[in-house]
Amino acid sequence: MCQCRSSLPELRGVVIVLGAGDTAFDCATSALRCGARRVFVCFRKGFTNIRAVPEEMELAKEEKCEFLPFLSPREVIMKNGRVAGLQLCRTEQTEEGDWLEDEEQIVRLKADYIISAFGSMLNEPQVKEAMAPVKMTRWGTPEVNTDTMQTSEPWVFAGGDIAGLANTTVESTNDGKQASWHIHRYMQVKCLGFNTQGFK
Ligand SMILES: Cc1cc2nc3c(=O)[nH]c(=O)nc-3n(C[C@H](O)[C@H](O)[C@H](O)COP(=O)(O)OP(=O)(O)OC[C@H]3O[C@@H](n4cnc5c(N)ncnc54)[C@H](O)[C@@H]3O)c2cc1C
């Protein structure tokens, strides 16, 4: 039981966690507490590019999670309708600093569970459709004015994970606070006839 009193998910066997940020290491140690026998943390770049705070990574190391750098996921291997493993290819950095994925160097790992901790994306077709007039970045998140949290549609505001700027709860909450002020200002101007300086 965790603090919120809901039951923990039950895992077993081998768990692969994809990513090397705080969330990935959090998922890795949580997977052990949920019953995983072994946890592999796979990430695309090397140890020098890890974005997580060192304590999160140290904790995962102490708890015997295994780290596999320079690997990019290619395909989930299924057997009898269940996850059975993951195919990955090796990544390499060129002298210019670009990252290449070498499809000729393939690794197959057996796994019972795969946890993606890459970051947030907008996947739901209905949500994407509903947001249609809003301009998106190449990462599939809305373009946001970081001062006002306004998107390309002046009446649509975004913040937190979906805006792709915040990485933590505190930053997401601040996005919400900033957006709420500008929503208030927008409504004053649009609905109540205030000028942009906040006066009637
Ligand atoms: C495993 C993990 C560990 C993390 N650890 C930390 C940490 O230690 N410290 C830290 O600061 N941050 C941590 N984070 C990051 C932090 O949780 C997020 O940055 C933060 O929660 C983002 O807030 P948000 O409001 O943008 O999104 P969320 O908190 O994800 O809130 C979005 C809400 O929208 C709801 N929703 C989704 N779709 C719909 C829909 N169609 N209709 C209605 N509602 C919908 C969801 O159910 C959810 O309640 C962690 C994240 C993960 C995944």
3-state helix, strand, coil in the chain (%, to 5): 30, 25, 45
Residue at a domain's end among 92, 116, 140: 116
- Say how many domains are in the chain: 2
Q: What is the pLDDT, as a whole number, of residue 16?
A: 98
- On whether residue 162 sits in a domain, the answer given is yes
Report the sign of the C-alpha dihedral through residues 48, 45, 32, 110, in that order.
negative
Average pLDDT over residues 95-107: 94
- On whether residue 47 sits in a domain, the answer given is yes
Q: What is the pLDDT, as a whole number, of residue 138?
A: 84
54 closest CA partner among 30, 31, 21? 21
Do 88 and 109 lie in a common domain?
yes
CA 181 to centroid of ligand 1, rounded, Å: 21
- Using CB distances shorter than 6 Å, the residues near ligand 1 are 22-23, 26-27, 127, 160-162, 166, 168-170, 172
Radius of gyration of the chain (CA): 21
Residue at a domain's end among 68, 90, 116: 116
Protein residue whose Cα sits closest to atom 20 of ligand 1: 169
- On whether residue 8 sits in a domain, the answer given is no
- On whether residue 145 sits in a domain, the answer given is yes
Do 147 and 176 lie in a common domain?
yes
Q: What is the pLDDT, as a whole number, of residue 156?
A: 95
CA 160 to centroid of ligand 1, rounded, Å: 8
Report pLDDT digits (tens) over 168-179: 899 999 999 999
Nearest 5°: phi and psi at 90?
A: -80, 145
Decide if pLDDT at 1 tops 70: no
Residue at a domain's end among 116, 150, 184: 116
Report pLDDT digits (tens) over 145-166: 999 999 999 999 999 988 888 8
Average pLDDT over residues 58-83: 96
Protein residue whose Cα sits closest to atom 15 of ligand 1: 168
Q: What pTM value is reported for the model?
A: 0.76
Decide if pLDDT at 114 tops 80: yes
Report pLDDT digits (tens) over 21-40: 889 999 999 999 999 999 99
Closest atom of ligand 1 relative to the 162 alpha carbon: 26
Do 185 and 93 lie in a common domain?
no
The mean predicted confidence, pLDDT, of the chain is 91
- On whether residue 4 sits in a domain, the answer given is no
Decide if pLDDT at 5 tops 80: no
Do 63 and 111 lie in a common domain?
yes
Decide if pLDDT at 14 tops 90: yes
> Domain range for residue 74?
13-116
CATH no. for residue 97? 3.50.50.60
Protein residue whose Cα sits closest to atom 39 of ligand 1: 127
Q: What percent of the chain has pLDDT over 70?
A: 96
Do 24 and 95 lie in a common domain?
yes
Closest atom of ligand 1 relative to the 176 alpha carbon: 25
